[in-house]
Structure 1
């Protein structure tokens, strides 16, 4: 389920255009056009890699003469000091593409690494770690892929993919309809495609029975305490999937998973992840000598 070749190229082209709309003034003015170098994408810390096709595209779209040999593929662990990829070709092109390639690799590997940490904390439980729509505008395709590289799973990709009734929907509904929650959800079932997944958010235990009566597919338990999550799972009793959401942190994830929920959605995987420390090192022997004035 990698992003398609066309999608990768389209997104990377936009990033390259943003970073060098009229070329790389420094490299083109200073570095001989004939200079050929070898560079290495090196890990400064351990993690999980994501971005092999994206890094390759950043260099090849800048200059087709650049070749990228990836040594650590998407979803694989690496240690500090590991050589993730070797890049060879015209120095000007490599220098021009360097920051775009690193920006993508650092962020996506950060997401994959953080996801893997959350997934490891749920080992031995049935809970799946899933992402949210709290992604960088324009980069959701890449960031969702990075979550998968870390062993996580994807929630709905967009508003068009599934029906998810949240607190603000219910607030508007309550102000403009006299129907009960169950009646409204049953009516909703009649107007959406039969293939559409129906999920409803609740933030109190006393809301669950009305939602269950509408035969929904998933109940999102928003900001529930550990004790209330356990009670909710028992109350729902496999009649719908259960999803814990809100205030999900690494120090709580194990206890949340132990309540028996099916899914744990974690916005932090994409909205506040730390970019991993990766660097691009060029062999000094390859750098052309600059003649003194």
Structure 2
């Protein structure tokens, strides 16, 4: 996968710190403090139990550093790179107690995000030979959106908006509440900044025709259309607006949808349903 520039540690530290505080409770790591003698040093490795695409390694490093700045964290497989079962993703050396205290938070982040990156890569592979790009949605774990969307990038996908304030996305309920497609597009023309991109959702070809007639949108979200209807929408659009297919986008359907000629395929399951990858920490 293409390497993605990392976020500054400053942005990610609050997420990791909150997870460590949650895990340490009110009294710290009781087990480790009880059974591990002070001054015990060890080397540990984060090992993949199955193949996948790396993500979350930056957060794992931050977790070990926040617990003990003297720990050495040597990355072996960077975020965005593929790995096989048995590969060592990182090596950590230093106080055994510190390594054990940070272990679960580091693996929780890395396993979760590797799962998203791996699932994204599987979807991207189904679009080869087409113009379609795989993108995520806002169906993310509360508080973890930034890192889950970063994992999508690590898997070779693209990001949709990060928040409600990034762009105008007019959904079916907006259209219903505003009185129809024409009124919402008129409102956009009257009120929206020229710097803001506008996307509107349709689920029928007559709605697409209305959008094309009125203007005011940059992107059309084609919601829950079968492949035949998607092909008709691409033909009707004739390259005028960016087209995004959405709804019921299972992995088994991606190649068929990509072949219709749409520009983007949004998949909520990348972030809300990806399985956590099996990673372990071995001394």
TM-score by length of 2: 0.96
Cα distance in 2 for partners of 1:61, 1:211 equals 51
| SS of residue paired to 2:214 | coil
1:87 aligned to 2:88?
A: no
Q: Deviations over 1:56-97 (max 9, x none)?
A: 110010011111100000110101000110000111111111
Matched residue count: 277
Q: Note the C-alpha offset of 1:190.
A: 1.9
Cα distance in 2 for partners of 1:204, 1:38 equals 59
Q: Deviations over 1:123-170 (max 9, x none)?
A: 000000000000001101100100000000000110000000001111
Cα distance in 2 for partners of 1:109, 1:249 equals 19
The aligned residue for residue 36 of structure 2 is: 31
Is the 8 Å Cα contact of residues 118 and 250 (structure 1) preserved in structure 2?
yes
Query: Which of these two proteins has the greater Rg computed from alpha carbons?
Result: 1
The aligned residue for residue 267 of structure 2 is: 266
Runs of 4+ in 1 over 4 A off after TM superposition: none
| SS of residue paired to 1:270 | helix
Q: Note the C-alpha offset of 1:9.
A: 1.1
| SS of residue paired to 1:103 | helix
The aligned residue for residue 204 of structure 1 is: 204
The aligned residue for residue 19 of structure 2 is: 15
Is the 8 Å Cα contact of residues 50 and 84 (structure 2) preserved in structure 1?
yes
| SS of residue paired to 1:213 | helix
Gapped regions of structure 2 (runs ≥ 5): none
Q: Note the C-alpha offset of 1:183.
A: 3.8
The aligned residue for residue 48 of structure 1 is: 53
The aligned residue for residue 233 of structure 2 is: 232
The aligned residue for residue 79 of structure 2 is: 74
TM-score by length of 1: 0.93
Cα distance in 1 for partners of 2:35, 2:132 equals 55
Tell me which moved more, 188-197 or 146-155: 188-197
Q: 1:3 aligns with which of 4, 7, 11?
A: 7
Is the 8 Å Cα contact of residues 182 and 213 (structure 1) preserved in structure 2?
no
Cα distance in 2 for partners of 1:39, 1:184 equals 57
Is the 8 Å Cα contact of residues 183 and 214 (structure 1) preserved in structure 2?
no
Cα distance in 1 for partners of 2:271, 2:130 equals 23
The aligned residue for residue 110 of structure 2 is: 105
Is the 8 Å Cα contact of residues 143 and 270 (structure 1) preserved in structure 2?
yes
Cα distance in 1 for partners of 2:155, 2:70 equals 32
Cα distance in 1 for partners of 2:265, 2:190 equals 29
Q: 2:156 aligns with which of 151, 171, 187?
A: 151
Tell me which moved more, 113-122 or 18-27: 18-27
Gapped regions of structure 1 (runs ≥ 5): 175-179, 283-293
